[in-house]
Each structure stands twice: as C-alpha cells, then as structure tokens.
Amino acid sequence: MTLLDAHAFVWLASDQNALSPAALGAIKKDRESLFISVVTCWEIALLHKKGRLLLPLPPNEFVEKAALHHGVQDLPLTREIAMAAVALPEIHNDPFDRILVAEALHHGCRLVTKDETIPLYPGVKAVW
C-alpha cells in the first residue's frame, strides 16, 4: 500500500519527470494499491484556489480524472486517525502532513513525499 502526498499525486498525473526515480519506482511497484488521503484532495483544491497550484482542469475534475487514470483510491479520514495526528510529536506544523503521517503509520504503508520533515517521524516509511 502506497500513500501519495499532494505533490506526488499531481506530478504523477501531470509531470512524472518531477518525481524522483525512487518515488516513481515505489508507485510502479504498488500500482494496484495507490491511495491519496481525502485531505490531499482538500489541499489540492485549496492551493489551486489560492493561485499556488495551476491545474489544466478545475480541482475536482483534475483529481477525479487523475485518480481514475492512475488507479488511485481514496483513503478515508477516521476519527482515530485525526486524533492520532494531533497526538504526534511536534515535528511538523502542517496539519495536512500530520494527517498523512498518522494515516501512513495507522495503515503501515509507504508514503511518497518530497517533504524532508515527514521522514523524521519514527516508523514512517517515506520514499523520495
């Protein structure tokens, strides 16, 4: 099982050359079990709305088409994971990334991310 950070998902769909060889390898290896968090969808829409992420389609269409094309499934956010994100050590201040860390730990999955702070969490299997 592989969880994609927002930038990894966007680059998978739009510019695979932006992915590192290790990230692309992890994605190809786990092609049948790729996930994005529901907060990743929220983050993509928010970044687009703020003008920090240009997309060829409205965010909802971009995410839907990219997920279908690449076989990426949604990873629901549960109360348990939300509470676990709050309980994490104060290593990262970004609430989106804290949820991704909690999800990766909860599900025991690999997390494809360029973020350099996420791998500082004990037990997180970050790939970049």
| pLDDT tens digits along 37-88 | 999 999 999 999 999 999 999 999 999 999 999 999 999 999 999 999 999 9
CA-based diameter of the chain, in Å? 37
Instruction: For the chain, give every domain's residue range.
Output: 2-127
Model confidence pTM above 0.75: yes
Is the torsion defined by CA of 79, 2, 63, 96 positive or negative? positive
DSSP state of 58: -
Write the CA distances from 125 to 4, 8, 62, 101, 122, integer angstroms: 12, 15, 27, 9, 9
Q: CATH says 2-127 is which class?
A: alpha beta
> d(Cα 45, Cα 16) in Å, to the nearest integer?
20
- Give me the pLDDT at residue 107, please: 97
